A and B are shown apart, each in its own frame.
Chain A
């Protein structure tokens, strides 16, 4: 038996370290770990016992309660059948923790009403809510499938699979954020995958209903768990944004962006980004561009994160699939300036077109245009000074807020030299693809303005002057070089500008020696 010694104390808990018992481990910390239970391993410690099927059958005569399918800190979920409609539903029973609090009922109905309005294909639909007997409940769409945690346990996601589920989550979150609803508890357990592989977000706003974000002034204790288990109960700290765990009342939609960043990190690496963590590409073989996305979502200062989840979505899409070509983008205002005309080629962006959005992702900013917001789509010509023969661009006129904005883009064509006709044909292809996508998304074709009515800015005077200057310099240089040649000019010689260029001798392409057909190795 080990004797207590006047050994140094444990840095973690301050207890006297007793080396001989558990090697270098502090026995007090070990016992605490036992007391904290599974809560410290990411599973909430739930002192509440969910009601039995019998209890529920009495309270919900209109339902046939089939089984308990899940439980957690925010309640228990039962699979049930609605007798009248014959459809399966998920019945969520909230723990009666706060039921006695008079403000709970009011908050519950307010939040639940907002949730019921969240009608999105990637959000679990709320059919009904209320109180039945002693139970506060939410009746929801039943998803036949697994949650992301279960899916991750079953097998590691490939980076591609991981990325594929992120955009729909972003869309659903953007949809909710636009309506002022923040999820506040995004974690793998709340992301459901149905049999068709569709992802659906569950438990929207439940955290808020359960008062996890109540300010201390309202006097509602966050937890009624006894003694030592207290700090492991609330929320899901590992997925929580720093500002959320510190001042819950201040957390806004950017807290969801952080949580999704944690989920994405975990999907990619199988680990949680705790403490000083490494970028995902150091751990797994993935596109390094993902590091930037994940790390930006995980910025501890909300201002440094993506400001909208739509922006994050676009960035993920850029890595996920290179649908669109690289484009040069500008606006009519930019194109009217010297800078805009001379340095158009500096403003490169990755174009992405999917069934809902047209996006241009640049290093610093991302422009996301919902297809439904596009009012006009036309082809125009760049000012002659930029290309004397007339280079085409696609003009997108769209509404953002109450403003009408216009964006011009030209796809980049790979290759050193592309004939103008090919180039403009490529522009036309992009134009048609975009037009078709808008028609599919909105059911109507956008307006089209002929190029001559587009009001393209004329060539900038500064550019013309610059070109004139270049022309003069060029002539001077040519003249000087001719004088330096000092070649005796025969009387009969024609002026240099009419000398026929000697025909270029094009070497025949090197012939690849054909292999004799029987040279292959027999297998």
Chain B
């Protein structure tokens, strides 16, 4: 499995050792490899029918440390694993106790009670919930939230930081009264409220920003939890906000996030009850956990998209030739990757959440001819493109998770075997990888990504695929995609949105504009006393979906 450029590093070794040790210790000689068949665990844990119980301390051992807590300056999951609990958004996606299932993305009011668009979808009017109070901490001291606060916050987002591109879409805002916010957009966008529902679009306070100059020390919001302590590399402590506008909630008194960078330690913390829930990637890991903790609740998570794929410098030869892109795509056996690397519990890989254009998860057949594993046809196509003897290229990546290295090596092997394409792999540290990747001046190949936090259709189409977008990392430059993604923003009808989205996806697959690769589904594992913790599509409760924990409670 290890290719000529691969090395088994310390981290790999620890993971392999930990997995091996755990498996050997727990399962003993009778252990057999986890079944590659479908997961035996439910993909949705319905809300409890019992009355929620107040109290308790919920704890999670987290891999992520917030780089900073200022939501203008980062989109890191380390920050948004808790920022969505200290602060609200204007609108949000449904929580687990009100959603019909993981794919339910019906927008709900958060700080807004209602909203409506003008007939041309350029003006959006939001009615703000009355009686919402900022947390009772200086300098806000529990004063009431008004529409002017939200206007100020969005202006700051547009002014600087990493959400500027999204909020610069706003031409102007007005507050005709204390509880009304009217937003004028530069261009029509029927999907604008989705952008405000993104987990990162939280409302922060004017006073703190003006007093401190940034939000790096204090994060005071209107959310269900108050940030009581943030000690870097140790813990984040969130305390129940007694004045929360959603009366009676949250149910849990304290939520403690413990900084735990090592995977084996996180697993040990869950096993010993120091953590109430944990994320594991593979069925065999779930099996290992359940051997020592048989009463645990398991949610089989189903990803609606793959955030990673093979990115080609498609603005330069040889990858600007669609035949080359198609040949490469046809020479990679994605199903083999799902079966081996992800133990059968993974998705084949696509970039736009399927729930926006069809009801069921896509199969290989849905992707069209260029996504089937047909090495002989791939070779023929590459020959037609003028590369009968293959060529040499480079690929750089950062190992977001251990399986990624296996995927990269499998691609290297298959392209060599099927097309005689030689790939020199370079594994980089995060900062080097990220800087090089987003600069978009690299040659050859990269293991590319799209942001993990985004839920909305606008984010997943226009923001990531339009040639003028600063998030178009895959360097898509296709006039039909530009036209379709812009048209989607002007389309209010759900059925028509689905039809256009399908056309975008079909075009993407046909032209092989982004070469998505298999991705794991993973599992969320909870202690048996946890209630109302199910994760929705694209909203894992341990990460960007943390606001849903405001509805969680513990039966113990």
A, B assembled together: no
